[in-house]
A = this chain, B = another copy of it.
Amino acid sequence: MKPVKHIKIKNEMKVNELVSSFGSCGFNSRKLSEAVNILEKAIKEKCKIFFGLAGAMVPGGMKQVVIDAIKQGYIDVLVITGANLTHDIIEAIGFKHYIGNEKVNDTMLHKKGLDRIYNVFMKSKSYLRLENFFTKHFDVLSKANNPREFLWKLGQILSKGGRKKARGRESILSTCYKYNVPIFCPALTDSGIGLMIWSQTIRKKKINLDFFADIAEIIEIAWQTKKTAVFYVGGGVPKNFIQQTMQFTRPASYGIQITTDRQEPGGSSGASLKEGISWGKLHEKAKFVDVYCDATIALPLICASLKDRLKNRKIKRKK
């Protein structure tokens, strides 16, 4: 047995030093440290990493962390909620999210045209420009065969434009396009994007996306992979869609999840990774850890720590 080593805060301590020292402590700090160890190992072994992103991570300020994770090669397949993509586009076309306050009166916010996401605000008129954007590009977008291709076309559109523009408004969608990372969004209709497509169809525009082709594509990717890692932020559809892919191909060799949901009420979001072993979603000998922490704290810690550990690694850019 190894003893607990008490954390010693140093001057100008680096994130990776602190996260590494978490590994000799207890409770969730150790779990967070193990998450970095597991990811480091999975990346070095060139596992294909399936990343599930739920929650309001874009409004929460985590967009660049995800973008950089894609660029660094920590993410090979992205499964995401429509909400995160909607907020990603809203920022890409020039709108912002704002530092808000959860204690404010919601009726007053409504009158001011501000939508609240806990302690973050967004102008509700963002939706108008979103509609214009989709009207403008719908002819191109509607040629997509399936949601994955639709999102790829969206990424292509968003990655165009002058350098300056691109730099300022880098998006998850455009980065996935540039780095050839497939994005899946099974519940696309459950989002602002879904609503924008619907609003085109009531103007008699046509689109015909084959949602089941997305299942075929992600299963094909998993089949062609020898070793996979799953990395879940926040549960929901992204987690479950990856889990079922593992179940129907082969169980993952590495697993990480960051959540604040509980396992006892039985929902998929809060289910422990260990439970996945019974289903064949996770390999019996897999290395895995559940980190119970707000992802806006845990995800940057994990990515900052990983960045330092992998700084001498040559990234095989998939561009």
Query: Which residues does A use to contact B, with CB under 8 Å?
Result: 1-16, 18, 21-22, 24-32, 54-56, 59-65, 68, 83, 96-100, 102-103, 106-107, 109-110, 114-121, 124, 186-192, 194-195, 197-198, 201-202, 207-216, 219, 234, 236-237, 240-241, 244, 248, 260-271, 274-280, 284, 292-298, 300-301, 303-304, 307-308, 311
Contacts and interface: CB of A to CB of B under 8 A. Distances in A.
B268 A2 contact: no
Contact of A236 (B236, B244, B303): B236
Can you tell how many copies of this chain the complex includes? 4
Q: Which 5 A-B pairs give the minimum distances between C-beta atoms?
A: A25-B61, A29-B296, A28-B294, A26-B60, A106-B277
B13 A265 contact: no
Contact of A26 (B7, B56, B263): B56
A159 B194 CA distance: 32
A118 B261 CA distance: 13
Nearest to A192: B244
A263 B198 CA distance: 29
A130 to B, nearest CB: 12
Given A1-B121, A98-B2, A25 B294 contact: no
Contacts of A274: 103, 106
Given A29-B60, A107-B277, A279-B115, A11 B311 contact: yes
Given A98-B3, A117-B266, A9 B300 contact: yes
Contact of A27 (B60, B83, B186, B284): B60
A296 B22 contact: yes
A300 B117 contact: no
Contact of A30 (B5, B96, B99): B99
A20 B16 CA distance: 16
7 contacts: A2-B98, A18-B304, A28-B297, A30-B119, A110-B278, A115-B279, A118-B263
Given A115-B279, A263-B118, A265-B28, A194 B208 contact: no
A300 B260 contact: no
B278 A114 contact: yes
